Chains A and B, each alone.
Chain A
Amino acid sequence: MTDLPLQPSEQPAREPVFQVRGLAKVYGAGEAAVTALAGVDLDFQPGELIVLLGASGSGKSTLLNILGGLDLPTEGSVRYQGWDLGGAGEADLTRYRRDCVGFVFQFYNLIPSLTARENVALITELASAPMPPEEALGHVGLAARLDHFPAQLSGGEQQRVAIARAIAKRPQVLLCDEPTGALDVRTGITVLEAIGRLNRELGTLTVIITHNATIAAMADRVFTLSDGRITGRQTNARRAPVADLAW
C-alpha cells in the first residue's frame, strides 16, 4: 500500500504511466473459459491521448477495467508508475481508483439524487488537492447548469458532468469507455472536445475506447485490438481538432 505513487513521477523524462507486459485475462475456467486478453504489451506516457479501437468483444473494456483497477489480470504485469496493479489488494485498488483514476462511462452513471455541482463535489470531498466543482464544470462548459439534477440535463450535458466529476480531483489518468456511445453526433463532438481540451490543459493521460475509427484522428496514438491482442499501433503526427473530425 505504501508504495502506491500518489504524486506524478519525479522524472518527467518518459517514465511510462502504464507499463503492460504479457497481459492476459481469462474469464471462467475449463470448457467455458473465455480469453478476453492475450499477450498485451504496451506503454502509455504521461499526457498522451490514447484511443482504443476494436470490434465488439475484442477486449477493450477488459483492458480499460484492468488499467482502472476494477479487474485483475490473469497473467502478466500491469504497472502504474512502477507500482504493480496485479498484486494489489481490494483496499489498495479502491485507494488507487480514488486518488489516481478518473472514469467516464457510456451511461454517465451520475448519482440521480445529486445536482451537477454535488456530483462533482462528492468526488472532490475525497480528493487531496481537487479543483472546485464550479471550476471543473466550467471546463466542460456547464457553469450555467450547476444546480440541475441529472433528470433535468440532456445526455450530453450529463456526460460532461461526468467528465467534470472525473477530472475535478486532478487524476493522473482519465479512462473513458465509449463516452459518446449513447450520444448523437453533435453532442458527441462537444463531449470529445471537452476531453481533448482537458487532456491538453491538464496533461492527464487519457484513454478513450470507441467503435468509431474517425475519432482516432484526435489521438496521439491509436491501438487496435482484435480477439484480445493488439493488432495495430499507429502514432498520429498531429492531433486533429475534434471539430474537424468527419464523423
Chain B
Amino acid sequence: MSRLDLKLLRDLRALKSQALAVALVMACGLAMMIMARSLILSLETARDTYYRECRFAQVFANLKRAPNAVTDQLAAIPGVGAVETSIAISVTLDLPDMEAPAMGQINSLPEQGELQLNRLHLRRGRLIRGPDARGEVLVSEAFAEAHHLQPGDSLAAVLNGRKQSFRIAGTVLAPQYVFEAMPGVALPDHRSFGVIWMPYRELANALNLYGAFNQVDLTLAPGASESGVISAINNLLALYGIRTAYGRQNHASDSRLRDELRTLQVLAIGFPVVFLSVAAFMVGAVMNRQITLQRDQIAILKAFGFSNGRIGRHYLKFALVIVVLGTATGTAGGIVLGHRLVEMYHLFFRFPDLPFLLDTRAVLLAGAASAAAALIGVWGSVRTAMRLAPAQAMRPEPPASFRPSPLERTALGPHLPATLRICLRNLSRRPWRAVFTCLALALATGILIVPNTLSDGISYVLNFQWDILQRNTVIVALAEPAAPRALHDLGNLPGVTLAEPYRSSQVEFTSGSHRRLINVIGFRPESTLNRLLDAQGHLLTLPPHGLVVSAKLAEVLGVRPGEKVLLHFREGTCQEVAVPIALLSEDFAGVVAYLDLDELNRLIGEGDRISGAHLVVSGGQWREFLRTLKDLPAARGVVIKDAMRDSFRDTTAQTIGLLRTIYLIFATVVAFSIVYNSARIALSERQRELATLRVLGFTRREVAGILVGELALLTVAALPLGLLLGTGFAAGLIYNLTTEYIRLPLIITASNLAYAVLVVALASLVSGAFSCRHLNRLDLVGALKAAE
C-alpha cells in the first residue's frame, strides 16, 4: 500500500459518516433498480418456463356451443397450431367455511388423453384419469389454500340447477390463471372465486352439452398472423354464437402480468436516475470540501513531484470507495426487497415456482451507473485539484465574499435579525448547492406522497363505485337470461327488500377503425340501485333510446355524444345496428355501456329477459338469505359487495403497506443523509466562524441554530416543493397504471400531505440535531489562533 493510499484510508475514516450517508442514498436507488430488474428476470423466467412447459395457448375464444366436429375445422384454419376445445361454465359454489356462496369457473378435462394446451401443474393429490371418473374435481391451489381444502375434502357446486358434491382429487395450477380473479375484477379474492376442473363427460352431461364445446384455446403455427387467425375463427364460429376471440394481449391473466412487468420497468429506470442524481450531488459536495481543506496538502504533494494524474486518481479512489459501498449495500437491499416482493406476488400471481433470481447484469449496471454518477459529481473538484498550481495552493483560499441575499432587498430586509442574514447569505453565496439540497429534500417529501395517493385513490374508487353508483348489497347473476318472473323469485328470497333487474350482453362495438367487445348493461331508468353520474357528479337519467357510455369508452372508440356506433349483438337475432351515444358517464373501472333495459331487450330480440338482479337485503335475515342463495338453482354468480370490498381493502392494504414502508425508508434515508452531509460540510467550512461566535458569548444552542438554520430554511422551502413534486410523481404513476380496466383518480388528501411533511421535517430535525453533536467538539481557543 502506498503512502497516498494510507492517506486515503485516514481521510475516509475521518469522513466515514459522510461517505456512508452518500453510499446509503446511492444504495436506495440501486436497491430499487436491482430489485426491479431482478423481479423482471424472475417473473419472465418463471412465466416463460411455465408457459412453455404447460403449453399456454395463444388465442382464446368463447362461444355458445359448437359440436365437437368443428374442432377439426378449427385445426384446419391456416396458421393454427394445436387446438384444445372444452367446456367452461360459471357456477356458484357452496363451501363449508363460508356462509355466502363463492363463485367458480369450471373447465372440462378432455375426454380422451390429456390436455394439449393450458396443461395443469399438479401441486397436491393426483390428477383425474380416464373418461369415466365421476364425482371428482381438481381445484386451483390459491382457492384451495384460501379455504384450507385438502385432497379428499369435498365441495358443492350448483350445476344446471342441481347442487352436486365433489371430492377434491388434487390441487393444481394452470398457466391461464397465473393471475386468478373473477372476470372483470381488478384484484384477486381467492376466497370468493376459484377455478375447478372436472372430466368432460360428467360436466357435459350435467349441462346437456355432451358432444359440444363452448371454449377454444389454440396455438399459432410459427409465423402465423394472430389477427388473421382470430378473424377466421370469428367467421367459422359465427354460426355457433361466438362471444369473443382474442389473443394473449387481451388475456386477463397474461395482460395483468405484463402490466406488472411494465411497472417494474418504470421503477428500474426512474428510481436509480433520481437517487443517483442526489448521490452525485452529495459526493461532489463532500469531495469539493475535502479538496478545499487539503489545498496545502495537494500543493505539497505536487511540490514533491506527485503527478497531476496521481493526485486526481487519489481523489477518484475516494469516490470509488463510496461507489463500492453503495453498490454493495444497494445489491443487498435489492435482494432483500426482491424477496419481500416475491412473497407479496403470491397474493397476485401463482407459478409452479417463482424463485428470486438476482439479475447479475443489473448489479454490474448498478455499479457502472453509480460510478458514473460519482464521477460526474466529483469531476469538477478533482479537476480543480489537478489544476491547482503548487504555489497558489500553498496560500489559503481567499476570503469568501458575500452580498446581501435577494430576500433582504425586499421591504422585509431591514427587519431581519443578523443570524437570519447569515443563513440567507450563506445560501445565496452557493445557490446551486442550496437548490440541489432543496430538491433532494423535496424528492424525499414527494416520494412519501405516492403510496398514500394510491391507497386514497383506491378507496375513493371503492366508495364511489360501491356507495354512490351501486347501492345494492348483492348482485345475483342467472345462469341463463330468464323471463321477468325470475325477478319475482329473487325478490322473494328471504330478507330481500328491493330487487331491480338487469340484462347484460357482450356486444361488439365498431366506430371507424376501432372495434371493441363491450359488456352492455341494461337496467330500468327508475333504478335506484344502479346509478350513473356525469363528470360533474350530477345524476344521469338513462334515456329511453341511445347509449350511456363511460367517458373512457368514448375516448377509446373516438366518439362523442350524438355520434353513432355500430353494435353487433352476439345473442338473439345477432343483429347489427347503429345506436347513438346519448350521454357520457364517469366511472373508474372497466369500459361499460348502458342502455334502457327494454331497449336492450328489443335490440337483442329474444323478448323480455333479465340476466340477474341487484338486491338489497336486510341485515336481520342475512344468514338465511345466504343459505338460500347457496342452493339457488338459477344462480350462476353472486357478488357480495361488502365481502368484495373487504377483500379489496385487504389486498391493497398489504401491497400498499409494503410500498409505504419502502418509500418511508427511502425518504428518511435521503432526508437524513442530505441534512447530515450538508450540516457536516457547513460545520467544516464555518468552524472558525462558529467558534468565534461561541467565544463572543453565543450559547451552543444559538450557534447550532445558525449552523442548521440554513438547512431549516431549505427544508421549509423544500416541503411545499416536495408536495408539488409528489403530486407530479403520483400523477405520473397513476397515468402509467391507468388502463381501460382500472382508472385511479388523483386524490391528494390533507393527511397524506401532512404525513409527508411530518416525516421529512422529523428526519431533517433529527439529522440536524445529530450533526450538531459535533459542535461540542468545537475548538474555541483554536479559532483565535491562525486563520484556517
**A interface, CB within 8 angstroms of B:** 61, 65, 68, 70-71, 90-91, 94-99, 101, 103, 105-107, 109, 111-114, 118, 121-123, 125-126, 149-152, 165, 177
Contacts and interface: CB of A to CB of B under 8 A. Distances in A.
A113 B402 contact: yes
B412 interface: no
B750 interface: no
B69 interface: no
A70 to B, nearest CB: 5
B401 A65 contact: no
A177 B782 CA distance: 13
Q: Which 4 A-B pairs have the closest CB atoms?
A: A98-B697, A151-B401, A113-B425, A122-B418
Interface string B760-788: 00000000000000000000110111110
Contact of A70 (B399, B425, B695, B786): B695
Contacts of B781: 61, 65, 70-71
B399 to A, nearest CB: 5
17 contacts: A71-B781, A90-B700, A94-B698, A98-B696, A98-B698, A103-B696, A109-B784, A111-B692, A112-B399, A113-B425, A113-B426, A113-B429, A121-B418, A126-B697, A149-B401, A149-B402, A149-B403
A99 B398 CA distance: 33
B413 to A, nearest CB: 12
Contacts of B187: none
Contacts of B787: 107
Contacts of A95: 697
A126 B781 CA distance: 21
B400 A151 contact: yes
B698 A126 contact: yes
A105 B401 contact: no
B563 to A, nearest CB: 67
A113 B400 CA distance: 8
B695 A114 contact: no
Contacts of B422: 111, 113-114
A101 B697 CA distance: 9
A177 B399 CA distance: 22
A126 B698 CA distance: 8
Query: Is chain B's interface secondary structure helix, strand, loop, or mixed overall?
Result: helix
A113 B419 CA distance: 10
Interface in B381-408: 398-403
Contacts of A98: 696-699
Contacts of A61: 781, 784
Contacts, number: 89
B400 A97 contact: no
Given A65-B781, A151-B400, A152-B401, A109 B418 contact: no
Contacts of A68: 695
Given A103-B784, A106-B785, A112-B402, 9 more contacts: A94-B694, A97-B695, A113-B425, A114-B418, A123-B696, A126-B697, A150-B399, A151-B399, A165-B696
Interface of B: 398-403, 417-419, 421-422, 425-426, 429, 688-689, 692-700, 780-781, 783-787
Contacts of A70: 695, 780-781, 784
A99 B426 contact: no
Contacts of A97: 695-697
Contacts of B400: 112-113, 151
Nearest to A165: B696
A118 B421 contact: yes
Given A107-B787, A113-B425, A114-B422, A125 B417 contact: yes
A109 B401 contact: no
Contacts of B784: 61, 65, 70, 103, 105-107, 109, 177
Contacts of A112: 399-402, 689
A91 B701 CA distance: 11
Contacts of A99: 697
A240 B418 CA distance: 39
Contacts of A109: 688-689, 692, 695, 783-784
A149 B403 CA distance: 8
A121 to B, nearest CB: 5
A63 to B, nearest CB: 12
B693 A111 contact: yes
A161 to B, nearest CB: 13
A165 B698 CA distance: 14
Contacts of A65: 781, 784
Contacts of B696: 97-98, 103, 123, 165
Contacts of B700: 90, 94
A94 B401 contact: no
Contacts of B697: 94-99, 101, 123, 126
Contact of B419 (A105, A107, A122, A177): A122
A105 B692 CA distance: 10
B689 A107 contact: no
Contacts of B785: 106-107
A4 B695 CA distance: 18
B699 to A, nearest CB: 5
A192 to B, nearest CB: 19
A39 to B, nearest CB: 22
Contact of A107 (B403, B699, B786): B786
A122 B702 CA distance: 12
B783 to A, nearest CB: 7
A70 B781 CA distance: 7
A46 B389 CA distance: 53
B163 to A, nearest CB: 84
Nearest to B426: A113
B689 A111 contact: yes
A98 B696 CA distance: 6
A107 to B, nearest CB: 5
Contacts of B693: 111
Nearest to A64: B784
Contacts of A90: 700
A4 to B, nearest CB: 12
A80 to B, nearest CB: 14
A103 B421 contact: no
A159 to B, nearest CB: 13
B402 A151 contact: yes
Nearest to A124: B418
B70 to A, nearest CB: 87
Contacts of A114: 402, 418, 421-422, 425
Contacts of B698: 94, 98, 126
A197 to B, nearest CB: 22
A52 to B, nearest CB: 15
A65 B780 CA distance: 10
A107 B692 CA distance: 11
